[in-house]
Every structure is written in C-alpha cells, then in structure tokens.
Amino acid sequence: MHHDVIIVGGGPAGLAFARALHGSGLQVALVERQPEPELATPRDDGREIALTHRSIATLKALGAWAHLDPADIAPLREARVLNGGSPFALSFDAQGSEDDRLGDLVPNHRIRAALFQAVADQPGLEILAGVAVATVLAERTGVTVTLVDGRVLRARLLVGADSRFSSVRQQLGIGAHINRLGRSMLLARVAHEEDHHGIATEWFDHGQTIAMLPLNGRRSSAVLTLPAADIDDLVQLDRAALGTDLTRRYHRRLGRMTVLAGPDVYPLAITWSKHFVATRSALIGDAAVGMHPVTAHGFNLGLQSQAMLARLIRAAAARGGNIASPLLLRRFETAHRLAALPIYAATNAIVSLYSDERPPARLARMATLRAGTHLPLVRSAVSRLLMQH
C-alpha cells in the first residue's frame, strides 16, 4: 500500500492535517487505533477548548467550523487571574480590538466530530481506523509503517500526531522532556445561580487551582486541579455532593453549583520533544509539544503546527519538489519552535510560580498581580497573544 503521506493519530491535529492536504494531489493515509464510529461520534470527554481567532479561522478554512452547532459555541469575552484571597485580579479582554471577545469555547468532542465530517469523503485520503501501529521505520529511501494486523504501508513522509506520549516519536528515536506533575484535573460541567458574563477565571488558591470556563447560559466548565490522590477521592462523590464541594471551593462566586456532566479526570503531564523532525518524519500537535492546560493554548498551538507543515508540503508538491526534504523539515521545525517556545516557557513559569506555596513565591504572585493592574500596555499585549496565537 503506497501513499505520499502517512499520518499516525486521528485526534484534532491529525484530522486537521489530513484535511489541510485536501486538493494537493497527494495520496494520504490516516492510521488511528480507535474504531471509525468513535472517530465519527466521539464521546464527551468533558474538555472545553478555548479557541483563538486564528484557530477559528483555521477551522473555517478546513471546512470544519460549518459542521459545529452554534449552540455549542460560547463566547469568551474576558479572562481573569486570581490569587488566594487577594483583592487584585489580572484581567484580559478584547478592548482596543475590533472583536468583542478573546475567542470562543467549544467542546473538544464536537471539534473532533466536525473535523472527521470534513475529511470523511475526502478524495485521496484513506482512513485506516480500528488498528494500531506496530512499528515505524523512516529511512532516506522512504517510510515503512507496519500495522498490528500485518499490513505494511509505505510512503514518502511520516507525520506523528499520536499524543504527548507518542509511540511514533519513541520509535523514531526522538527524545522528549516529560514532566509528570503528580497532579490531576477534574472537569465537570455545572449549572450555577449567577451570571458569568462570559468571563473565564483562573483562581490560584492556596493548595488548589480552580478555573471556571463560561458556557452558554448560566453554565460553566469547572476545572479543579489538586494532587492526584485528592482528585481520586473527589470522584467517589455523587454529583450532588460534588456540586456542593465545588460551590464551597469557589466561595459561592457564582452561587450554588449543580453538576450536569462529569466528572472526567486527567493526570497532568507536560512534554517537549527534543526534535520535531527526523528522517522523512515530523511531529505535530501534542506529539511535538504537550502543554500544561493553565493557559489553554495547547490545542491552538497544535492546530497551528499542522497548518505550518501543511503549507510547506503543499508548496513543495505544487512545484513537484520533495515533500520530505531535510530543508523543508528543518524549516518546519524552526518555525514551530519559534512559535511554541515562548508560550511553553511562559506557561511553565506561571505554573511554577502559582503552585509554589512558599512565602517568597506568595509575595511574588502578589507583586505580579499588583503590577499587572497598573500596566495596561502589558495587559493589552497579553490579550492580543491570547486572541491571535
């Protein structure tokens, strides 16, 4: 079975990349271990994705945005950072721009379903679902991918989009910095008594981090981060008791909360691949950079990584060039590193500062918030980053 490009991983980055190659004349294979019905109708995993304007434009260009139900799209008008009991809040909004919002919140499973709909009947794309990859071999003469059912695929280029614990990355011999944080996120969709006004909050309280992401109506996605053992205890609660606990933890800022869906739990780990490319191979999405969710930029970064690579490949294919040339792959790696490193480093610095309970760190957090409230130009610059990254 011969193709031009083999993509391993049918998550958002892999599906988006496959769609981005539509009309290029390339023969593409997408390999995903999940069965096709699960790709077409993914389960609700509890995650709400904060999409920037650039990501929304990308999804529109891919033809996926049109498959979303407007009822699933919630405006994100402002973001606020809170610290403990401090009265200061660092706020970011869209003032000074032509937009009335920082972006939109959309359930992850709805985005995945929309992307699958976009590629479902795509000419030149073969979807091999319900089968895992056994081995990959990337050599100067070409790429060979052997599936667990014995089928062998060959191509000119291999693209790994198979999560932050990528098997493709490992088999290519690419190392990665992996930091398992020993903490977990609990996600629950809740209804509440007060109006959130489209404002997302990230509250770094002592011993816990709790975010509230505004959904349509008086509903939010509650995201609670605690040591993994504490999260394991919380998921044993029934929904009524969990709603009471979340109400208490959030100090009734939105009134009484009632759990509508969830909880879903995700252990936290961040990853940075030492290289984004190898011989005739590239990594996109979480396989390249697995972000901490605190700044909500992991999905957006992954979506832009596939767009960068697709542009280079389409240009090479249009002129009859080598779509897996070392120069092309180095250009992709350089561009993606320049885009990813600042937000990756900033996110890790925020996590380090706001999860440290020692007195010097608490003072530094307070100073940061005080300074931020008096530096409108800095807040404006961060808002533009949140909207456009």
> Lowest mean pLDDT: which of 76-90, 215-229, 261-275, 342-356?
342-356
User: What was the pLDDT predicted at 88?
Assistant: 60
Cα 158-161-165 angle, rounded to 5 deg? 115
Kindly indicate the confidence band of residue 353, based on its pLDDT and cuts at 50, 70 and 90: low
User: What was the pLDDT predicted at 278?
Assistant: 97
Kindly indicate the confidence band of residue 264, based on its pLDDT and cuts at 50, 70 and 90: very high
Q: Who contacts 262 (Cβ-Cβ below 8 Å, separation ≥6)?
A: 46, 186, 187, 188, 189
Kindly indicate the confidence band of residue 358, based on its pLDDT and cuts at 50, 70 and 90: low
User: What was the pLDDT predicted at 350?
Assistant: 65
> Is the predicted pLDDT of residue 188 greater than 90, yes or no?
yes
Residue with tokens 């610290």: 83
Count the Cβ atoms, other than its own, within 10 Å of residue 17: 30
Helix 326-354 × helix 359-373 angle, to 10°: 110
> Lowest mean pLDDT: which of 85-89, 144-148, 215-219, 337-341?
85-89
Average pLDDT score over residue span 265-288: 95
Is there a contact between 72 and 106 (Cβ–Cβ < 8 Å)? yes
Burial class of residue 229 (count of CB atoms within 10 Å of its CB; 0-12, 13-18, 19+): exposed
Strand order in the sheet with 281-283: 125-129, 28-32, 5-8, 157-160, 281-283, 277-278
Residue with tokens 């009471």: 244
The domain segmentation of the chain, as residue ranges, is 5-73+105-178+270-354
> Is the predicted pLDDT of residue 363 greater than 70, yes or no?
no
User: What was the pLDDT predicted at 204?
Assistant: 81
Average pLDDT score over residue span 303-320: 97
> Lowest mean pLDDT: which of 61-65, 195-199, 377-381?
377-381
What distance in Å separates the CA atoms of residue 186 and residue 262, rounded to the nearest whole number? 9
Burial 347-379 (b: 16+ CB within 10 A, else e): bbebbeebbeeeeeebeebeebbeebeeeeeeb
Kindly indicate the confidence band of residue 98, based on its pLDDT and cuts at 50, 70 and 90: low
> Lowest mean pLDDT: which of 149-158, 210-219, 230-239, 335-344?
335-344
Is there a contact between 166 and 14 (Cβ–Cβ < 8 Å)? no
Percent of the residues in the chain that have a pLDDT greater than 90, as a whole number: 74
Radius of gyration of the chain (CA): 21
Locate 193 and state its tokens.
């008594």
Q: Who contacts 10 (Cβ-Cβ below 8 Å, separation ≥6)?
A: 30, 31, 32, 34, 39, 116, 127, 129, 161
Which one of 3.40.50.2300, 3.30.460.20, 3.50.50.60, 3.40.470.10 gives the CATH number of domain 5-73+105-178+270-354? 3.50.50.60
Higher pLDDT, 366 or 113: 113
3-state secondary structure of 188: strand
Average pLDDT score over residue span 243-259: 96
What distance in Å separates the CA atoms of residue 214 and residue 212, rounded to the nearest whole number? 6
Give the number of C-alpha atoms closer than 13 A to the C-alpha of residue 80, restricted to the C-beta side: 16
Q: Is the dihedral of CA 297, 69, 109, 60 positive or negative?
A: negative
User: What was the pLDDT predicted at 342?
Assistant: 85
